[in-house]
Amino acid sequence: MEHAVVEGESFSPDCSTLLMPALSIGNVGQLAVDLLVSSSSARRVAYLDEPSVLPCAGNDAFGPDAVGDLALALEAYESPSHRLAFIQQRSPIITGMVVSFAKNVANFISSIEKDHVVILSSLDSGKRRIIDASSDMQVYYLSSCNEDGSDLKCENLGWKKLEEYDPSQQRWKCLASLVEGGHLSEDMTGDPEEMTINDYYSSLPFAALFSACKAKGLKVTCVLCYCSEGDNMPESFQLAEAACKLVAQGPEQFHGNGSNGWTIPLSWKSLRELGRVQFCGCADRQAAEPDESLRTPCPQEICKSIKIPSKNYCGVKKKRTENKMTGRRRL
């Protein structure tokens, strides 16, 4: 992987923790990194050139105004005031090159002397074995601190270790061998139709990144959540907040222009303008309705403290119609 440092910038040794997404369902990891970069006022320090990632270019993702500052497929950011570094990935990996990508990323992170890599990603909710009926999103993790993937710090945060991680399982062993320079033998490939649930997890980009960073001797933590395709911005807020807890940086320390410290990226606002995403404005709408009986409570607890997009389009007043025949008002 090659990189071009932005003029006047350099990689700071003080930003020893690096956060990056691993592409998966709903793009939750990418959205969370967008939110963290925007809220921490991180500066772009380098453009990364990786042959296994499809090239792309777009307008500035963070703003505050779209001035034509190009955003590319892979970029590195740093926020010296928060001692955090970021890599953002905006396009997919070429099929069959996930392991190559993971090895190149791990080599690059090692070369710029980062100590802790935090990988943010999502998992297909259709693959989960146990359904958690609680209203809060359950955060899962995978850590290099112990051979079994456990980490006491993550456990103390109330997170659950990804039970499907088993370093003795064939495909996890295969992945570890590949990132260390081994070859894919015939007995490692197997029949795709015979893949188990455990095989699903080891086939995802986060697993390759985890294995490659671990093989380079880097401390690596994967922060994961289950989701489905759709409006996944609520999950991205919660995943970003989980990452803040891990690195001991509360969102209120970001001093963003939104409530609770978050700064909504410019790219998210463009989605709202297109009507594809409806942002929750519970507090504003509730205050505008004098009749308490007509206020609709927000179904998402987190909306009480910050404005986030809601899948349930919460805070919308119940419609009132007049019955012309009786003159009675009904909800």
Q: Which residue has the tokens 């146990």?
A: 130
Confidence label for 61 from pLDDT (cuts 50, 70 and 90): confident
Separation CA 61–CA 69 (nearest Å): 9
Residue type, position 256, single letter = G
Q: Per-residue pLDDT tens for 156-177?
A: 999 999 999 999 988 899 999 9
Number of domains in the chain: 1
Q: Cα(233)–Cα(34) distance, rounded to whole angstroms?
A: 11
pLDDT score at 253 = 73
Give the CATH number for residue 40. Answer: 3.40.50.10900
* Dihedral sign (CA 116, 117, 119, 120): positive
Q: Name the nearest CA neighbour of 263 among 315, 312, 306.
A: 306
> What is residue 162's predicted lDDT score, i.e. its pLDDT?
94
The answer as to whether 73 is a domain residue is yes
| Percent of the chain's residues with pLDDT above 90 | 55
Q: Which distant-in-sequence residues (6+ apart) come within 8 Å of 165 by Cβ?
A: 142, 148, 149, 172, 201
Determine, yes or no, domain membership for 262. yes
The pLDDT score that the predictor gives to residue 25 is 93
Beta carbons of 235 and 26 less than 8 angstroms apart: yes
Burial class (CB in 10 A: 0-12, 13-18, 19+), 2: exposed
pLDDT tens digits, 260-276? 678 888 888 755 554 44
Angle at which helix 28-39 crosses helix 266-273, to 10 degrees, equals 120
Whether 298 is in a domain gets the answer: no
Beta-carbon contacts of residue 49 (< 8 Å; ≥ 6 apart): 1, 2, 3, 4, 74
Q: Length of the chain in residues, anyone?
A: 331
Query: In the prediction, which pLDDT does 194 show?
Result: 53
Q: What is the pLDDT of residues 214-247, one digit of tens each?
A: 999 999 999 999 998 888 888 999 999 999 999 9
> Is 328 a domain residue?
no
Inter-CA distances, 286 with 24, 134, 246, 258, 302, Å: 36, 25, 34, 18, 16
**Has residue 318 been placed in a domain?**
no
- Its domain, for residue 163, covers 2-187+198-270
310 in any annotated domain: no
Tokens representing 70 are 């190009």
Asked if residue 140 has pLDDT above 60, the reply is yes
Query: Per-residue pLDDT for 7 more than 90?
Result: yes
Residue 149 falls inside a structural domain: yes
Residue with tokens 């993550």: 154
Cα gap 207→218, rounded to integer Å? 14
pTM score, two decimals? 0.79
285 in a structural domain: no
